[in-house]
Structure 1
Amino acid sequence: MKNKAMEVRLGDELLEFLNTRKTLNLSTLDEDGHPYASYAPFAIANDCIYVLLSDIAIHGVNLKNNNKAAVLIVEDESEAQTIFARIRVNYQVSAEHIAFESGADYDQGIACLFNKQGDRIHNLRQMTDFNLFKLTPLGGRYVKDFGKAFTIAGKTLAGESIEHLRDGHKPRVSAAS
């Protein structure tokens, strides 16, 4: 029972961290399967991540052609106690293009982006080259410090389960020893 309570606290902590961030790093795959790294403003609703991306941007084209991607959301360098252990969460995600014509689904994604990112969202949604994507988590990892890394299992942002990675860093054994 104690482990389940710890998972709930970690899940709440993870969601709180996500709510303090405004941008994410996005890794997509091009038509040849090569990775492409970029960033985008994001928002969260219904245990998914929403981004509004242009067809002019490589990552927007990549997501239209391949729905597999990875997301990294990381603590700002200026806030980190040590640059080597910034708080971060990464997810493997499945991307779904939400068409402008899809009504309520599109409106919900735009509304959550507007609430997080402000008026610019309403301007961008008027451009025909901007597309809404819903990124559904497939699992990931949450790292909050040295020795405090957790596997996130399940298709929710806080995970259906969170397990501590107990096999930590291992010191090198000197050849002279």
Structure 2
Amino acid sequence: MLSDTETEKSLAGYRAFLSERKTVVIATKDANGEPFQSIAPFVVHDGALYVYVSEVADHYVYLRDAETARVMIHGDESGAANIFGIERASFVCDVEQKQEEGHDAVFEAFGERTNAKMVDLLRGLDFHLFRLTPRDGRYVVGFGKAFEVSFD
């Protein structure tokens, strides 16, 4: 059992980890029910992850057709003290496709985290916004150190 100090330190590390990462690995199923993984930039807004993906990418169709997906946000393996305990968080998420209208704050967040001019350019193309609302989560902070977590 962790002490209150150790728990607070782990919680602070978890929050910092989520705020520093810019991409998420998304696991869905393809049209044949086979596992499919992709990676996309994400932002956090209103208790959820948002990704913005192109219609020409395979993961667009798989996200569009999915009710749930599993996502993983992972740390930099080059800085890991033990590769078996690389820092990561994974969540089961409910998937919803969203209209761009009414989500200006999400696009502002994308612009701040990536490149505002690029985001403006993509908004005129075949990209679609998805909200991934995390449910069950697990955070691994090192070898033998794993915590059940909520996204917030």
Aligned mate of 2:145, from 137, 145, 148: 148
> With CA pairs under 8 Å and 6+ residues apart, which has the higher RCO, 1 or 2?
2
Number of the residue aligned with 1:84: 84
Alpha-carbon distance in 2 for matches of 1:98, 1:61 = 14
Alpha-carbon distance in 2 for matches of 1:54, 1:12 = 34
C-alpha change, 1:122 and 1:28, in structure 2 (3 Å) is same
Alpha-carbon distance in 2 for matches of 1:139, 1:84 = 22
Which runs of structure 2 are paired with 1:26-175 in the superposition (5 Å)?
26-100=26-100, 103-104=101-102, 106-119=103-116, 120-127=118-125, 129-152=126-149, 156-158=150-152
Alignment: residue pair count: 150
The answer on whether the counterparts of 2:95 and 2:132 sit within 8 Å (CA) in structure 1 is: yes
Shift of 1:84: 1.6
- One-letter identity of the residue aligned with 1:39: I
Return the TM-score normalized by structure 2: 0.88
Number of the residue aligned with 1:14: 14
Return the TM-score normalized by structure 1: 0.77
RMSD of equivalent CA atoms: 2.0
The answer on whether the counterparts of 1:109 and 1:132 sit within 8 Å (CA) in structure 2 is: no
Shift of 1:80: 1.2
- One-letter identity of the residue aligned with 1:14: Y
**SS at structure 1 position matched to 2:78:** helix
After superposing on structure 2, the runs of 4+ consecutive aligned residues of structure 1 that deviate more than 4 Å are 2-9
C-alpha change, 1:140 and 1:58, in structure 2 (3 Å) is same
**SS at structure 2 position matched to 1:66:** coil
Q: Could you report, residue by residue, the CA deviation over 1:41-71 in whole angstroms, capped at 9, with x for unpaired residues?
A: 1111122111100111111111111121111
Shift of 1:83: 1.6
Q: Give the stretch that moved more between structures: 54-63 or 113-122.
A: 113-122
The answer on whether the counterparts of 2:29 and 2:62 sit within 8 Å (CA) in structure 1 is: yes
Alpha-carbon distance in 2 for matches of 1:131, 1:14 = 29
Q: Which runs of 5+ in 2 are unaligned?
A: none
